[in-house]
Chains A and B, each alone.
Chain A
């Protein structure tokens, strides 16, 4: 049982995860930010490893990735930082990134290394279910890593069931079919979608992401799911001066 599974076994609601990009705003900031987020009360973290062509990301996260690459962030560098990170941070850690850097590192080697360094799960938005099942799942399972699948309002119930079968930690519900950094608009359609998924009584807990930016959207998401993920809003904060000092208030502001 990895840390994610332990967390979900112990805590069923109001889970808060924060996303940020490794290497942004500067190289060697990854560990300090993680430590500050844990202290501020985040339940688990998603650390993005940057990619030059991130098609699912909006302008804020895309900019952070470009900056991180300019700063010299690489997978090897991130893995160095994770060694230090696990000495100071105990909450579950997910890595999030696109498939090509993983393919270049070698999928088996990547999973083994991530697991050794205390990573609990991986989110790869452009790795679809068929490719995961056929080519990648054994490496994830052998290394006790959770693979997290995305679900959108357009994902069919059959496909959600299949995703639930293949998942062993949580399902990532996108608040809308869009790139990151949009505004969460709680239209009837979206509420119907949340209700529809909730009524499916899935085996895995669900976490809502994309468009969670304040206490109101966080609370709303927690009505329908076990928690929510904040990404672009936090990455914006990292672009400000004295961002480290602002982290506790930011997390408190989201939690309310």
Chain B
């Protein structure tokens, strides 16, 4: 694969495994075993069976007719919001829990921003009868309260991260600390294409089911496997990487990644990493992150808890640097308006994360024959409170 990872875990200048020695055995165990395990026929059979019968895959590729009329192109929604637990996060959680079982792990930890990855992890732990601890920033716990309750109901322990910005990056730090203290029996299910190698590659492979299905479904809808455009929102970037994965080598397909501009890229309250960031090291990989000239991580801001992260996965950093994908951003206001539009035109209330991707349609110009796929990464139930407050419903 042209844009894939090399043997040392790098995508061009990005990636690697910048981890303290305390984590080396855990990460090395994964590195040595993940490909063997996930290519094993038994693993594949169990993974595919759960994706089909538990998650409800394949997720539909929905031809959004009213959107198509409005924007003058064939607009398709890849409906990850219809997955069990309400987002694409379950694809990766199922993959990693099956991997953790084969590694003989007895305990699972995870970090979560919007709570979707936490809910997905708590769900698969319940399914497998394995102890689950989820770290979540205090700020995110408040704004994603329904998901906190879901995780607890599923039997997980939710531990608040109270340092720094009290959001996703701090939850990630806490989860890493937990893993350092529990190196033998614990597997850390990272929820995005971030972290030390092999996580970015492993999570991308588990999420690549999104683009694999899309190609087949596009043929059924349009007679062609390749669309003109593929759009997805990017926090760490797992839904986008899953949505891009099987199109990466099809150079004619234009890939568009939408970041959260928050209150505006230059407002001081933003999470638009490629606009505001520089190359550096965060959470175990060399990537692009928002930081001071001195290398201190800048606290990001977005109305969307899932996009409120100061970095992007190393493969995204690579795709950005070599210009294989276009990285753009959408403000809180634009995203919330797009969420309302989608609700009222298509009868689908999207997660605010996904609304960022939808909002970018307003800024694009299409030919009438263009086929455009947008990853609807999650549903908006968890965000109702934010929508309600914004629109005064």
Interface residues of A (CB under 8 A from B): 51-56, 62, 66, 69, 74-76, 98-105, 125-128, 130-131, 134, 149-152, 154-156, 159, 174, 177-179
Contact = CB atoms under 8 A, between A and B. Distances in A.
Contacts of B173: 53-55
A103 B295 contact: yes
Contacts of A156: 25
B172 to A, nearest CB: 8
B21 A155 contact: yes
A238 B361 CA distance: 56
Interface string B7-28: 0100000001111111011000
B281 interface: yes
Nearest to B175: A55
Contacts of A104: 278, 280, 291, 293-295
A75 B18 contact: no
Given A53-B169, A55-B176, A100 B21 contact: no
Given A100-B281, A101-B295, A128 B22 contact: no
A128 B21 contact: yes
B21 A74 contact: no
B19 A128 contact: yes
Interface of B: 8, 16-22, 24-25, 163-164, 169, 173, 176-177, 180-181, 183-184, 278-284, 286, 289, 291, 293-297
Contacts, number: 108
B21 A149 contact: yes
Nearest to B8: A130
Most buried by A among B8, B18, B294, B296: B294
A55 B297 contact: no
Given A125-B21, A128-B24, A150-B21, A69 B296 contact: yes
Given A128-B21, A150-B22, A177 B295 contact: no
Majority DSSP secondary structure for residues of B touching A: mixed
A159 B283 CA distance: 23
A66 B22 CA distance: 23
A99 B169 CA distance: 17
B20 A154 contact: no
24 contacts: A51-B296, A53-B297, A55-B283, A56-B20, A56-B177, A56-B180, A69-B296, A76-B294, A98-B281, A100-B282, A100-B297, A101-B295, A103-B280, A103-B295, A104-B295, A126-B284, A127-B18, A128-B17, A128-B19, A149-B21, A154-B22, A154-B183, A155-B24, A177-B183
Nearest to A163: B21
B22 A152 contact: yes
Given A55-B177, A100-B281, A75 B169 contact: no
B10 to A, nearest CB: 10
Contacts of A51: 295-296
Contacts of A103: 279-281, 286, 295
A155 B22 CA distance: 8
Given A53-B173, A126-B18, A131-B18, A179 B181 contact: yes
A34 to B, nearest CB: 22
A178 B20 contact: no
A76 B296 CA distance: 13
Nearest to A178: B181
A156 B293 CA distance: 37
A178 B176 CA distance: 11
Contacts of B163: 62, 66
Contacts of B286: 103
Contacts of B164: 52-53
A103 B297 CA distance: 13
Nearest to A134: B8
B169 A126 contact: no
Sort A-B residue pairs by CB-CB distance and give the 5 closest, nearest first: A101-B295, A104-B295, A150-B21, A125-B20, A52-B296
B312 to A, nearest CB: 15
B18 A105 contact: no
A43 B17 CA distance: 33
Nearest to B298: A52
Nearest to B9: A130
Contacts of B21: 125, 128, 149-152, 155, 174
B24 A74 contact: no
Contact of B20 (A101, A126, A130): A126
Given A53-B164, A62-B163, A179-B181, A128 B296 contact: no
Contact of B180 (A74, A130, A151, A177): A177
A174 B284 CA distance: 20
Contact of A128 (B18, B169, B278): B18
Most buried by B among A51, A69, A101: A101
A39 B284 CA distance: 39
B281 A99 contact: yes
Nearest to A63: B163
B180 A154 contact: no
A52 B22 contact: no
A178 B22 contact: yes
Nearest to A104: B295
Most buried by B among A126, A156, A159: A126
Contacts of A178: 22, 180-181
B290 to A, nearest CB: 11
Given A55-B180, A104-B280, A99 B296 contact: no
B42 to A, nearest CB: 29
Contacts of A52: 164, 296-297
Contacts of A152: 21-22, 24-25, 183
Given A55-B20, A154-B183, A177-B180, 11 more contacts: A74-B294, A76-B294, A100-B289, A101-B294, A103-B280, A149-B21, A152-B24, A155-B25, A156-B25, A177-B22, A177-B181
Contacts of A66: 163
